[in-house]
Structure 1
């Protein structure tokens, strides 16, 4: 198929497998060398090419190059990057290892339920990837099933670093990060945040592996907050972020935060319920880290 690339292509494009705001993703095969299957992400930016590559794309490539050196098994591998000008627009091409499916497809293909050991394996790999990112001062900021890849061999890899950032303690950045259903309360409250936003998202994904559907399905930020507080309870006014422009109100949800040991989901056993509770803790500084989550009894016994 015609990939619309400029200049000589090193890949045989087999199928279009995804489309985003700035371009498309193709399944392709290397023409020479190892002839590996790859995922080619082609981004097209109309306008004046002399203005250069947008900052968010430079950031994604720079972060991928930074983490590529470590070759972590739970982070998608970047093989190649190229840029060129075509028809007064800028084309940027990223070539990644090809992974069979994302976690959304993996969950949707499940007929009844995922086994406890299967869930444990997925979460352990996901948290290992997160721990690696956070140890290297990176916060993903858009962790969701669509951005987690699962190979036919059961390898779990974090992908799509378009919103990722190098962080310092308590980042004050745009609140327009993380897909709504996986967005932490501090982001919804337009408060400062840190790497714990990724752990909240991982907690939402953890619940989804049991439920086979998203845990919090709001369609506005206010509705999303209410759905969260229906499950974890309403925090005290003292724990409400002081810098948040959204005012504290008892109408947000049932009074009283859930305490350790509270059954957040009726189908969960004691250990998995406790880990979910630790991931979905309202106050970011009290939320479990990816590193500590890996030593949690539910995962440590794996």
Structure 2
């Protein structure tokens, strides 16, 4: 039996060896015939010709069924794109060939494109709807202002290379960057970054925010997905996605920021300033250290619950001012402890010195004092106790009963109860410095929160190079930004760094410069200002729809306003939207658009020094704005 089994195994080995020899003999031939099949057919027949134009084009947009815009747009009003399709700027005849899809959201889609003689770029194609078109024009206007008045490389702001209308869609072309900070954390298995990387990234983002404050702009959507990594050695990042940005004197929306990075003043409905971006930056710093968001709230109530658990209640003035405070907090009348103790001591003393009748009188007096109004501010003067109003966060049961909905609470919240516990894993030599820095950014009161310049002066991010204020040049008039430095080693601001972030003179000079600039979007034959500067524009009351879907439904709170319907948007659609639908050729419409935006006619402003895509990040699709849904295990 053993001999038979050995013979069988020997036969099998011989057959397998002969099979491998045949494969190795004919393998190169089969591969050559497959790869060079076009050349073989051309050599066999001179009449044979092959063209890639006949190949079926891979679709980059889903769903891909044409519904709107003569079959060019799908049901979501997105332009249906295919690999190899060419999008042309008819004004300067610049052709962009589509390569791949980099991301898609509620605003539209972002695609990687190639241009002749220039590095690859990222093109943001907005949806063919008035709200998205309007918001895209605002983003282009803000980027034009930032790229013109300031150095985008020195201030770490993305470059806008071109802007035009194609098939009724607004197309904005940016420099092509690599992965964002969220993808960087994902690539690092959500383990967090080193203190050196956190210092570099934070310093560069502070410079970007410092530049935006000089330009009187608020980003309103600072988060890891909107911070792109340019290079790893040295570490360089850039701030992107200005679709939600607004000016200091024209705050369009009250429902802004992704929930994980939403500031207390937005949650409470308090008038906001550039301080909201500093709060978001503090959340990014904490996330870079922890690897995951520090406050992963599932709704606004849950977000406030997590914030107050770590930082305590907001100031009474903020709660009294917020138009959404009573939605999440409850106001109760409580008597001052000092006043009650004073009344008790006085009553005890009088009981020892008087008769029973006098005791009854004193008890009546004490009950009368305890019911006094709050005019005296709760002070114990002459034995009078006054009730004071205090706020507390509603319990889950109270909120569910009043809101008439079931709460979804975060199941992955941290167990921290103070900021000291948050930084306990930081190396000892950096712990106190990092704690002091994040404490300055996590001030509940926006008046006490650090400004970008104050944060840049802190030792945690302070560079050896002295800080120079960005200067906005408006028609030969340069006005440096005015900011206060920290007044002590703890970094406490000497005065309010926000609110009136820019001086009145500078704000007026900027408005006058913009009125003289070609960035007006005036209606034909009208003398009105650009729609971004109209103080009474009704379109600014509509909800911003140009922002992508937030991770974990971060912007899908049921208590948020749903915005105006399509009919209302149509009635308030901007002049620029109507211009693209007017009677006339596409060339004249595009020319009018570019002339209105002040874009130069000699072609796209493509930077020759654009950095190549990171080789180590080849597994990522990369690109400009990506909003992937975050999955945590």
Q: Mark yes or no: TM-score above 0.5.
A: yes
Answer with 22-31 or 186-195: which moved more: 22-31
Over aligned residue pairs, what C-alpha RMSD do you find? 2.4
TM-score (norm 2): 0.43
Q: For 2:244, which of 144, 154, 163 is the aligned residue?
A: 163
The structure where helix makes up a greater share of residues is 2
Q: State the alpha-carbon separation in 2 of the partners of residues 270 and 199 from structure 1.
A: 20
| Equivalent of residue 182 in structure 1, options 261, 266, 284 | 261
Cα displacement string for residues 163-205 of structure 1 (whole angstroms, at most 9, x for unaligned residues): 101113xx76532100011000000111100000000000000
More strand by percentage: 1
Computing the radius of gyration over CA atoms, which structure comes out larger, 1 or 2? 2
1:82–1:301 CA distance, 2 compared to 1 (3 A): closer
- CA 1:301–1:162 in structure 2 vs 1: closer, same or farther (change >3 Å)? closer
CA distance in 2, matches of 1:53, 1:271: 43
Change (3 A) 1:127 1:241: farther
Alignment partners' CA distance in 2, 1:161 and 1:235: 29
Please give the alpha-carbon distance, in whole angstroms, between the structure 2 residues aligned to 1:106 and 1:52: 32
**Residues 273-298 of structure 1: per-residue CA shift (max 9 Å, x gap):** 11111101100010001111111111
The residue aligned with 1:263 is 420
The match for 2:460 is: 298
Runs of 4+ more than 4 Å apart: 6-9
Q: 1:217 to 1:3 in 2, by over 3 A?
A: farther
How many positions carry a matched residue from both structures?
284
Q: Distance in 2 between matches of 1:216 and 1:126?
A: 20
Which has the higher mean CA deviation after the structures are superposed, 111-120 or 67-76? Answer: 111-120
Within 5 Å, which residues of 2 pair with 1:195-234? 195-234=274-313
Q: 5+ unaligned residues in a row in structure 1: which ranges?
A: 254-260
Identify the residue that residue 119 of structure 2 maps to in structure 1.
36
Report whether the alignment pairs 1:83 with 2:155: no
Shift of 1:54: 3.7
Query: Taking structure 1 as reference, are residues 231 and 173 closer, same or farther at Cα in structure 2, changes over 3 Å only?
Result: farther
For 1:251 and 1:57, how far apart are their aligned partners in 2? 41
The structure-2 alpha-carbon separation of the partners of 1:45 and 1:295, relative to structure 1 and needing over 3 Å to count, comes to same
User: Is 1:26 matched up with 2:167?
Assistant: no
- Distance, in Å, in 2 between the alignment partners of 1:38 and 1:107 is 24
TM superposition score normalised by structure 1: 0.87
Unmatched segments (≥5 aa) in structure 2: 1-82, 331-390, 395-417, 465-633
Counterpart Cα distance in 1 of 2:315 and 2:247:
31
Secondary structure at 1:141's aligned position in 2? coil
Higher relative contact order (CA 8 A, sep 6+): 2
1:144 to 223, 243, 248: 223
Given that residues 107 and 212 in structure 1 are in contact (C-alpha distance below 8 angstroms), is that contact kept between their aligned partners in structure 2? yes
